[in-house]
Structure 1
Amino acid sequence: MTDLVLRETRGEAVHLVLNRPDKLNSLNVPLFQALDAHVKAIAADPTGVAAVVIRGAGRCFSAGHDLGDIAAGERLPEPNYQSKVIERLAALPLPVISAVHGHCYTGALELALAADIILAAEGAKFADTHARWALTPVWGLSQRLPRRVGTAKAREMMFTCRTYSGREAEAMGLANACLPDATFLEGVDAWTAEIAANSSFSHAANKRLLDQTDGLPLPAGLAHEVYRGEGVGPDMRERIAAFAARKS
């Protein structure tokens, strides 16, 4: 693994930090390879990891897909490589959080949308600028963005290429919360601590349940929950006993 993506532990969360600050963390193939290595390592052994946070080093989350690489012609390890890395990140059996400060444009927005939760700093700037460059999404934005903000708002973002602040992202549902710039990392830590206090069994099972029923008609979704839900986790008795002991 190279230093293009750093792995840091903060509490019970693992932070994967995009680390091309001199290039505003623009996304090139080597960075995706570094990210992929970390994601595969976590998937192989998630022991002790309560959540995964994706964030950027330096001034921003990421300015997006490296346009210089696009112009030069990227050499991919396999077809559709970046979209496969993003899918592997999204499929981790853990809560995934995108912690966005500064720029989060286009390809970076596609990466951020792979997360279960997006936390925005007040100074964050979100935009989809595919249309500015005569491009269309190939890393999942056309599917994930409308599922977050609704079709009408997704069309607005895609057609206008407009930039939205952290507060605007929160208001439209793109971000789950907008946090002060000065205490952004501490705010992210508070979210991950709240998640870590709950059952990792439930997090993984609930994530699978949500993914497997996405888009199903209500009766089919209800049947899936009732008959194919994973039910009781191995830590249920311990958690209930601890609660009872506090109440006594």
Structure 2
Amino acid sequence: MSKPLVIREDSGGICTLTLNRPDKRNAINRDLFRAFRAHIRDLESDRDTGLVVITGAGGHFCAGHDLKQAPHADALGWLRQEMLILERLTKLRQPVIAKVSGSCYTGGLELALAADFIVCGDSARFADTHGKWGLVPGWGLSQRLPRRIGQARALEMMFTSRPYSGAEAAAMGLANHCVADADLDAKVTELAALILDNSRHSNAENKRLVYDTDGMALDTGLSHELMRNAGFDPAMRQKGEAIGSARKGG
């Protein structure tokens, strides 16, 4: 029996999705993408998971699209399907962390950018190599990368196709954190504990407000925050009332 192309592991409210073509540095072919798409669809209705981590097997995150695979008969239609699934990844209620070591190139970089933030090891190498192959982005890189690191830095990455180290990625704001590879699991675990200790309602609604108002003028964004506010988490309100009663009793 062949190994799954995407491995899902659930523990303590965390869902880890591992791209599993280590012999190809987890390059994405259509079968892998279909498996990934199925997991994202499952997570959209999953209320037991409070955090999603995307990573890769074998010491690499993802080398991008598998260019050895022949194009789909409806290349533009398939590309649109891929792009829409990455947008659904971004819109998951759960916070999403890309945990990166080794190669994070081109389509792999676009996948990482669809996460809420990136945590990487010092072996990580980030690059946009569309230009090397005469390609242009189709998974959102031209939109997400400038918003993450600024227009000039994004254009430099796109024009040069050179790899950037994990330390460089953290310095420019592409990655939130860069740590030694040996400490990468521990760093993600630390962040996960902090995230999961907070209200899932608040995490989901804060995420929604940030993405929904991206690009709005400040006054429009402030109005959106007020008028589209989802209010208190009922579970946390009960917790607060319980604490208040305990203090009064003491």
- Give the TM bin, normalised by the shorter chain: over 0.9
Q: Which amino acid is 2:183 matched to? A: T
What CA distance in whole angstroms lies between the structure 1 residues aligned with 2:208 and 2:74? 30
User: Which residue in 2 is equivalent to 1:19?
Assistant: 20
What CA distance in whole angstroms lies between the structure 2 residues aligned with 1:238 and 1:193? 22
More divergent stretch after superposition (75-84 vs 219-228): 75-84
What CA distance in whole angstroms lies between the structure 2 residues aligned with 1:195 and 1:242? 22
Consecutive unaligned residues in structure 1, runs of 5 or more? none
TM-score (norm 1): 0.93
Distance 1:218 1:38, change over 3 A: same
RMSD of aligned residue pairs (Cα, Å)? 1.8
What CA distance in whole angstroms lies between the structure 2 residues aligned with 1:140 and 1:96? 17
User: Which residue in 2 is equivalent to 1:210?
Assistant: 210
The 5 Å alignment of 1:134-173 reads 134-173=134-173
User: Which residue in 2 is equivalent to 1:74?
Assistant: 72
User: Which residue in 2 is equivalent to 1:30?
Assistant: 31
Distance 1:246 1:67, change over 3 A: farther
SS in structure 2 of the partner of residue 67 of structure 1 = coil
Runs of 4+ residues over 6 Å off in structure 1: none
User: Which residue in 1 is equivalent to 2:52?
Assistant: 52
Q: Does residue 204 of structure 2 align to residue 190 of structure 1?
A: no
User: Which residue in 2 is equivalent to 1:228?
Assistant: 228
Kindly indicate whether the alpha-carbon contact (under 8 Å) linking 1:29 and 1:76 is maintained by their aligned counterparts in 2.
no
1:74: Cα distance to partner? 2.8
User: Which residue in 2 is equivalent to 1:109?
Assistant: 109
1:207: Cα distance to partner? 1.1
TM-score (norm 2): 0.92
Distance 1:230 1:183, change over 3 A: same
Summarize deviations over 1:87-122 as a string: whole Å, max 9, x none: 111111110110011000000000110000111111
Distance 1:242 1:168, change over 3 A: farther
SS in structure 1 of the partner of residue 234 of structure 2 = coil
Work out the percentage of aligned pairs sharing the same amino acid.
Answer: 51
